[in-house]
Amino acid sequence: MTSLPETTSKKLGLVIDLDTCVGCQACATSCKEWNAGGYSAPLTDQDTRGSDPHGTWLNRVHSYEVGDGPDSRTVHFPRSCLHCETPACVTVCPTGASYKRASDGIVLVNPDTCIGCKLCSWACPYGAREYDTDDGVMKKCTLCVDRIYNESFAPEDRVPACVRACPTGARHFGDLGDPGSAVSLLVKEREGFDLLPGMGFKPVNKYLPPRDRRDLTTASAPRAAERTVAGSGSLADRFFAWADKTLAR
């Protein structure tokens, strides 16, 4: 049913550390690999050998430039379904294919009843849902529902594929409804935040902000004595200015 559960016993979700993410795309590719054979199969691509290769992926890693001047920084930003507490993608669904599980809060699409109307993708402000044109149904992050409860896996593998793949430990998985869980404590300690809190969908996934720089010398402007030699315009001055610039490379 597309009506939302009153409460969920757990709030399973991800905590993504924007401080340690290096934008390597390992989470995105491992997600694609796992889900092309798991719950979301087939997860198709189109025109793969042509001039417009594109396809359905459930996790996308952006890179942003944030701030200006010496304080600017590059932030790598993985983006996937946030498994909101009150997701509009579920309530707009006309068929009941989109649903939020009362047991653990995971938002899923039933691929056997989805009609591919795409309205859920319009309702999501996070661009988290991607329509599979070959399969004719909507696809989204399943939080690797087919891994996390899989008892044939070693315990350390019972996490979403993106979490298992992250080489810098920037992705954490757990119950954000339990204030004592490791992920909840991490969010508390690092002041994790919601994306677009003003939209009111109460995302479960949290993001951790980049830490303050410990050593600002490399980022600050060069000290006066080290500044490039400013030539007055004579040939010798310009030669020394050129030499200074070249040697400083």
Binding site residues, other proteins, CB under 8 A = 1-3, 18, 23, 28, 52-57, 60-68, 71-75, 77, 79, 88, 90-97, 113-119, 121-127, 130-133, 135-138, 193-199, 207, 209-210
Torsion of CA 175, 179, 185, 186, to 10 degrees: 40
What is the Cα–Cα distance from 97 to 110, expressed in whole angstroms?
5
What is the Cα–Cα distance from 111 to 139, expressed in whole angstroms?
8
Q: How is residue 40 written in tokens?
A: 């979301």
Q: Given the complex with other proteins, which of 109 and 148 has the nearer CB atom?
A: 109
What is the Cα–Cα distance from 57 to 170, expressed in whole angstroms?
20
What is the Cα–Cα distance from 192 to 194, expressed in whole angstroms?
7
Smallest separation (angstroms) from other proteins to the CB of 111: 10
Smallest separation (angstroms) from other proteins to the CB of 188: 16
Q: Given the complex with other proteins, which of 7 and 63 has the nearer CB atom?
A: 63
CA-based angle 222:223:224, to the nearest 5?
Answer: 120
Q: Given the complex with other proteins, which of 1 and 102 has the nearer CB atom?
A: 1
Smallest separation (angstroms) from other proteins to the CB of 171: 16
Q: Given the complex with other proteins, which of 8 and 80 has the nearer CB atom?
A: 80
Smallest separation (angstroms) from other proteins to the CB of 43: 12
